[in-house]
């Protein structure tokens, strides 16, 4: 990527927005007493077979993976997001999800600050690099703050604490809706293009929530997008 083509305004939007989402999550966790945190983490999330603790483990491991990609990019290398690909990713999350609630909170905070430090210290050249996700697809380093912001907004909803898709940050929705719409249309059978008219009629936050499989409005199919 040519440095002149790097969209620094987009990166700044995503870094600032994601950092705010990080703080919202940490404030939520700080509001749960130490005596209650184990039971809080053990409660089911809105995702099938995922406890709240599993969601936290997923978010901590995701932050670690992004920090790793930035470190590799700073060295001029195309890193792999998760050692061992999808299997390694799943095993790492499952192992971390067994930690106590207090340890999960500590790990969540630690992983967040390590990632934000990686954003701050990464040289300009690193932002021009790329890495590979768990299935080997190429990720632009410049896209990582948006992808992390996505993880934060969507999984804050999944925790089942009253934070819903209606509260997703409007700037995040604006940045990610077009990407998720293109992802949906790319999977359509040949000859079909565009979102269904019923989806286009939805408010933007609800349309994005549908594309993530978090809601299924009347007349639309369930989208499998955990």
Paired residues of 131 in beta bridges: 139
pLDDT at 215: 96
Alpha carbons 61 and 93: distance in angstroms, whole number: 7
Domains of the chain with CATH codes:
3-163 (1.20.120.450), 166-226 (no CATH)
- Stated as kind and residue range, the H or E segment containing 131 is strand 130-132
Which mean pLDDT values do the consecutive 10-residue runs of the chain (226 residues) have?
73 97 97 97 97 98 98 97 96 97 98 98 95 96 98 97 96 96 84 85 98 96 81
- Stated as kind and residue range, the H or E segment containing 110 is helix 101-121
- Residue 98's alpha-carbon distances to 15, 109, 166, in angstroms, are 30, 17, 31
Select from 21, 12, 1 the least CA-distant residue to 151.
21
Torsion, CA 122, CA 133, CA 115, CA 157, rounded to 10: 140
pLDDT at 6: 84
């Amino acid at each position: 990527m040519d440095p002149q083509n790097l969209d620094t305004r987009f990166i700044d939007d995503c870094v600032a927005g994601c950092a705010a989402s990080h703080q919202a999550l940490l404030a939520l966790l700080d509001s749960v007493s130490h005596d209650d945190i184990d039971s809080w983490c053990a409660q089911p999330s809105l995702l099938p077979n995922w406890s709240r603790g599993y969601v936290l483990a997923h978010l901590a491991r995701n932050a670690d993976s992004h920090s790793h990609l930035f470190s590799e990019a700073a060295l001029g290398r195309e890193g792999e997001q998760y050692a061992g690909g999808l299997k390694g990713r799943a095993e790492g999350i499952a192992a971390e999800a067994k930690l106590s609630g207090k340890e999960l909170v500590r790990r969540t905070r630690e992983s967040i600050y390590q990632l934000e430090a990686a954003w701050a210290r990464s040289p300009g050249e690193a932002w021009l690099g790329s890495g590979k996700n768990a299935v080997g697809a190429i990720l632009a380093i410049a896209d990582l703050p948006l992808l992390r912001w996505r993880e934060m907004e969507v999984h804050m909803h999944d925790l089942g604490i009253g934070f819903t898709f209606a509260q997703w940050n409007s700037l995040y929705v604006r940045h990610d809706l077009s990407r998720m719409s293109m992802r949906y249309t790319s999977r359509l059978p040949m000859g079909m293009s565009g979102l269904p008219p019923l989806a286009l009629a939805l408010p933007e936050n609800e349309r994005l929530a549908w594309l993530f499989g978090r809601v299924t409005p009347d007349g639309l199919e369930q989208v499998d997008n955990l």
